[in-house]
Structures are given as structure tokens and as C-alpha cells.
Amino acid sequence: MKRPLIALFSLLLIFSQAWAQTSLQQKLSAAFSRLQADSQCKYALASLTVLDVKTGEQIFTSNPNVGLAPGSTLKTVTTITAFNLLGKDFKYQTPFGYSGTITDGTLNGDLIIKGTGDPTLGSLRWENTTQSFVLNALVTALKKAGIKKINGRIIGDDSLYGTQTIPDGWIWQDLGTYYGAGATALCWHENQFDINLKTGPVGTAIKVAGTTPAVPYLTFKSELTNAAAGTGDNAYPYLPTGLTNIMYLRGTYAVDQTKKLVSAAYPDPAYDAAFRLLDTLRRLGIIVTGAAESSLSLTAKGVQTPEMTATLTTLTSPSLNQIVYWTNRKSLNLYAEELLKAIAAKAGTAVTTPNGVAAVQSFWKARGIDVNSMDMIDGCGLSPEDRITTMTVATIMQSAKKEAWFNDFYESLPIYNDMHMKSGSIHNVQAYTGYQTHQGRELVFSIMVNNYNGPGKAIREKMFRVLDELK
């Protein structure tokens, strides 16, 4: 009698699972239809893919193979690829040394910080990456070598990655902002600083009240105006063009904003790193006869960056799993772009954004994904020209579950709507991708809405109602 009972139990279990899946499909279908019919989506295109994490089975799809702008959900593709190709223990190495010779405590030559793409150098996110820690480490190495005077320059060597630090496809308005900072070979303080604002009544001009830290080599001209309460931060710094050192601020800033500052991108992070080291050495009484320079500033003078002939110390970054944590948790575009370039270097190609994209596409093509479904311009999703399908994002997310490093990746995902998922938003684009357990079944999803109208908060709430069916 046992065998018939076991068979009956198995049959009931199969029917129960089939009914549960059908029920979920129906609920998702109804919820997604409501989203598509909403007035905010009248001129929009929406897509949703839900897969079984263990099997890859399609639980629900709608427009799964339509390429859409993913916003920052593209970071999941970049970081998962980085885990696969670079390994969770990968670390950047930044050599610090000199060109020339040391005689009786005097360096007749240049001190050089050689950038190799570490986005954490000078970052506040770890104790051993802060500006003070890094500068102290460099000074300690200098003293250990017995150098008391530098008869030369302090150079931030940014030459490894060439001259193009900003991907094609990024818009001009973003380039001077902290989130539009270029992916340089020598990064410093996440390539950003703060511009402090002196605000006033609505309609009046806003003045610049200094910067943090001080950047005396830049001049700021504000065309900002104080705007009505509730209108938000619409202030944009614009990078200097040509050989000028002027940074303009344009747009509006609401009077009820509490920050009273705008975070901007360094025009030349390598120069600022050299500038900080030069200032530190001089304050310590170490004589430096030359100026702070970078590969960019030397090129403008028609001078080549000298080669480092001896190494004093090497700075080591946090491991990749720690870098990925902040890449996804805080949606750091700089970190994603540097990882993309590290992927290009791993592939043995010239370190450029297009070569990084090609390496990512090649990796997933070998795993059965049609590269035509992932038209990537960058690695972070800031470009409005990025296109990828929800099926491809969900498939890549599903592939990560079987990897030994999955928990590190999972913990990097922020929590929205009580769900572990990465968000993505650019102009009239909202997207999410993540994981959720439904009645004991692990699911992975990707949802995107392009060209919605109205407030972002409202469309997010409506997308959450669809995702609530997965709980």
C-alpha cells in the first residue's frame, strides 16, 4: 500500500506546484497589465522577466526580448562579469616611486604615483583608502628611503588608460557631476569634491562659498538661482573646456534643500592627488623644488610623463567583493567603469571602455547569450544609449546563484520595497533587478519601464505593486 500512497503524494505535489505557478503567472499578468494600462505608461514601453533561480524556467515574461535602457541595473551585468573574470579576491596595485637618483638624501628626479585604475584610492569608504591614510603611507615610504629633498616634480601618472576617460554616449550635463566623473587610471577621492553654496530667497542668485577640500587651482562661476521649495536639486557643475580652469554651475537649487552643496567631478584627479602630496610634503618641511603635475597637464605642455625607475611602495586596494559591495549598494558609476576597464585589461586588450564591453559580451556569448541583446555603451548604465533585454539581465542574474561568490554579490544589492534588488534610473527610465522567494521557490526578476511620464516616485510605487506579487 505504501507505493500507491507515495505515488499519490507525488502527484498531488506536482499538481500543487503547477497550480501555484499558474496562480503566480495569473497574478503577475494582471498586475503587469495594470502597470501597462496606467496613464504614466501611455507612451512607455515596459518589460518584465521572472525566472526560477535553480532551473532557469520562465515563470512570467512580457516583452522579454525588447532592448531597453536599463539605467544602473546594468551594474549587475558588469559586477557579475567581474566576479567571473577577475575573481572575488582581485585587488588593484598602485605603485609609488621615482625617476632619477638619490644622492645624500636628495632625489634628483620626480616622485610618481602610477595609476592602474584603483577607484578606491583616497575613498572614505575604508580606513586604509582614505586620503590621510594614503598620504601617510607615501610619506612613510619616502622617509624610509631617506629622501629629505626632491629636486623635481610630484607627478600623478594617469597615462595607463590613454586620454579618453569618459565613455562615448554620456551627456554633457552629467560630465561635471560626481556621478559623471571619468574613469581615470589614477583615481583620487572617487574623483569628486564638494562645492559649497550660499543660498538666499527664491529667484536670487546663488554664490559659491568655497569647496571641500579646497581646490585653489580652479575658479568657479555660479549661474545658479534659488528655486521654490519642493523643486529639488537641479544644479549641475560643468567641466572646464579647453585650457581654462573655470567651472560653471548652472540650474536651480530649492530653498528647502538642506545640503547646501553640489558634488562635482575633478577635471584632473591625478593632478589633485599630486597636489595633495606636494602640499603634505611641504607642510612637513620636505623641500620640493618642482610643481604638482599630471599626465594631462604635462601633455598640455608638450612634455611626456617620465617612466618610474624605482618603486618605494605599492598601495593595495580592497578586494573585488568589497568594491562590488559599494558599486551596487551606492550605485557608484566610477567603480563600475573601472571594473569594466579592468575586464578589458584581463582580456589582454588595450584598456578602453569599448574593449571592456567587447570582453563582457564575449564572456556571455560563450554562455549562450545573444550579444545583440546587450548593446552596452558603458558598464554603469549612465548612457541613455545603453540597451539590454530583461531576459538577458535575469539570465545573467540567475547564473550567479550557483557561484561560490554569490553571497557577496547578493549582499551588494540594496533593499527596496523589502526586496534585495538593484535599481536603475535615468531620464524617464526606471528599472529593478533582484531576487525574491515566493512560497519557498527562489525567483529572479528584471523589470524595466522606458519613457514613462510624470513623477518618478509614482512609477516606482506602481512597479513595486507588480513586484509585490513575488512575495
Of the candidates 71, 69, 67, the one whose C-alpha atom is nearest the C-alpha of residue 382 is 71
CB-hemisphere CA count at 13 Å for 446?
Answer: 31
Q: CB count, 10 Å around CB of 287?
A: 11
Residue 19 reports pLDDT greater than 60: no
Q: Is the per-residue pLDDT at 17 higher than 80?
A: no
**pLDDT, tens digit, 9 for 90 and up, residues 207-218:** 999 999 999 999
Q: What are 275-293's pLDDT values in tens digits?
A: 999 999 999 999 999 999 9
Cβ–Cβ < 8 Å for 448, 405: no
In total, the chain counts a number of residues equal to: 471
CB 70 within 8 A of CB 422: no
Task: Supply the pLDDT for residue 289.
Answer: 98
In the chain, pLDDT over 90 holds for what percent of residues? 93
CA distance linking residue 51 with residue 470, whole number of Å: 11
Please give the pLDDT value at position 21.
Answer: 62
| Helix, coil or strand: residue 39 | helix
What does the alpha-carbon distance between residue 395 and residue 297 come to, in Å, rounded to a whole number? 45
Which of the 8 DSSP states describes residue 55? T
At 82 the three-state DSSP class reads helix
Cα torsion through 173, 176, 181, 184, rounded to 10: 120
Q: Tell me the C-alpha distance between 129 and 412, whole Å.
A: 19
C-alpha–C-alpha distance, residues 339 and 217, integer Å = 30
Judge whether residue 268 has pLDDT over 50. yes
The H or E element containing residue 443 is: strand 441-450
Between 41-55, 173-187, 238-252, the lowest mean confidence (pLDDT) is in: 238-252
Q: Which residue is associated with the grid cell 525566472?
A: 51
Contacts of 26 (CB under 8 A, 6+ apart): none
Among the listed residues 203, 212, 197, 213, the one whose alpha carbon sits nearest the alpha carbon of residue 249:
197
Cα gap 187→311, rounded to integer Å = 19
CB atoms within 10 A of CB 232: 12
**Coil vs helix vs strand at 385:** coil
Looking at residue 22, what is its pLDDT? Answer: 73
Q: What are phi and psi of 20, to 5 degrees?
A: -60, -40
Predicted TM-score (pTM) of the model is: 0.94
Backbone angles phi, psi at 312, to 5 degrees: -95, -40
Rounded average pLDDT over 8-31? 68
Question: Residue 12: what pLDDT?
Answer: 46
CB 118 within 8 A of CB 345: no
C-alpha–C-alpha distance, residues 153 and 323, integer Å: 32
| Residue 26 vs residues 45, 46, 48, 344, 463: alpha-carbon distances, Å | 21, 18, 14, 43, 17
Q: In what order do the strands lie in the sheet with 246-254?
A: 219-227, 246-254, 233-238
Q: What's the alpha-carbon Rg for the chain, to the nearest Å?
A: 26
d(CA 27, CA 87): 39
Q: Is the pLDDT of residue 194 over 70?
A: yes
DSSP class per residue in 85-152 = HH-TT---EEEEEEEEEEETTEEEEEEEEE----TTTB-SSSGGGBHHHHHHHHHHHHHHTT--EESS
DSSP state of 36: H
Given this model, what pLDDT does residue 241 score?
A: 80
Residue 47: the pLDDT is: 98
- Integer Cα distance of 289 and 23 in angstroms: 76
Give tens-digit pLDDT for 118-150. Answer: 999 999 999 999 999 999 999 999 999 999 999
Does the pLDDT of residue 162 top 90, yes or no?
no
Kindly state the average pLDDT of the residues 432-461.
97
Residue 351: strand, helix, or coil? coil
Average pLDDT over residues 219-232: 95
Delineate the domains of the chain, giving CATH numbers in brackets. Answer: 24-89+320-470 (3.40.710.10), 93-316 (no CATH)
Residue 13: C-alpha distances to residues 10, 20, 110, 298, 443 (Å): 5, 10, 74, 72, 19
